[in-house]
Structure 1
């Protein structure tokens, strides 16, 4: 990878699509709607093929922010906004001229990735875009849930409890009535999920969108149309403001009450996820310097299958802000 030339020639057809508004918007619209139209178009196929195609459609859908980031890297801020607006008009038309789906597509898949991509091209852009994206995703999830709850005349916790009720009720109906302990454990799991769902949802969206930004930047670097912060992800340093924000949110979670404590706890989950990303960068750098490549793969596997493993990385990332562990780690292999 390090030996590849960054200024490879992009295929002419791809260059044409990415440099014209209407083809860009059409591609963006297809990718956004792929999770819906691919399974519908191919009904009647064997179930495993439908599942495979649905997974492909979901993958295209998730990669939509990467496309708009590429467009922003190559065409600039206004070009990206024009493309996102045209795609949003297409969503509105397909939704029977309903304005809300088009507006959501414009904001979530257009403006938010565009803002993150534009920020990434500034000085210290990797850190700043990660923080901006987390802030925007947190606001999107929190206000979206709040508005929906208010429309149903419910509190936020109550609304999330009602969202989760069908899933837990279905599990409960399959339990023997005499198994009191299992029912208590299920209720405890339900309360835990209610407590952390907004934060986990925002963090999941951040990971997906941030991955798209990084993926788009790598492509733009390879084809030489990215001008901005090109520092490696292993050098990610979030800064003391993020550390103080995280510690303040933890304090507010324990000292606050009601909705204030609930909001602080879920905001702490999101900011803790960012700190964990920095912690992973520290540990990855150390293992790489020691030549422990198998341990690097094992680390990511454990993070994937065992969510509690994120906690030590949050601590490492938090401490790294003050102690800068990577300062004394020698580079391995360039």
Structure 2
């Protein structure tokens, strides 16, 4: 039995009916005609992400604190409310719907956004085939090929069927302009000739090919990978992590080595922890060994002793006491002198 599509335009909302498989009750305008066409204030945009789920977002200038409720339906399926809302500032701004099968991207897809309580906005897609956005390629690596002056970038291909994914490579020399390769189905790309001592930067993106229904959207660019002098140069973030880990490991090794040396080496103990002498033993030597001789106890060198010795001689000076003289006076008075 052949099903012919019939398009019926009702006031304010575009509906698709398929004889024998589409119900009029699905997203039909309400009795008060509140279903408005797609261009009214709020824009609804839907994409299929990596053939895994449908992500719909709606935007509106100066969105107010309104309760946005979203419903959607693929052909042959029943309508249901959004199973997983995307929020910003505690307000619903998008919806994520699990894709039942990759083939659903060829089916009509209908959406309905309820704004507040009474007003609804409808947007319908005849197909989502051209609105598929894949994830960017992962695990890029660069190495020199067997040919002289040729460098190849490799990546892990998508888990989608090989003939269904196109890849393009963006690369540039040093800080020069980017060059974009033509689409390829392979998971590698080679550049030649390359200049020695110059850094090359590579990035890759992917998209659905014409063989499986081409998409208008490319994936985001992958993380960049660099090459210089036939060596895989890691990104700046990877180098920072590498040096941080290496510095931490070296610091721990040096600290452990110093601790072991300090524990087992007597010489290091003397240098870092000098022994304080016991003053009681020295004082005992002064009286017991040197009999109170401070010079011998302190050990003054002979040169220092000679420096304090006088270098001249003096004649001795004899000091004598005077002898007592005879008395000329008597005890009773003056002595009479004889008269001549």
TM-score in same-fold range (> 0.5): no
Name the structure where helix makes up a greater proportion of residues: 1
Structure with the largest fraction of strand: 2
Normalized against structure 2, the TM-score is what? 0.21
Higher CA-based Rg: 2
Q: With CA pairs under 8 Å and 6+ residues apart, which has the higher RCO, 1 or 2?
A: 1
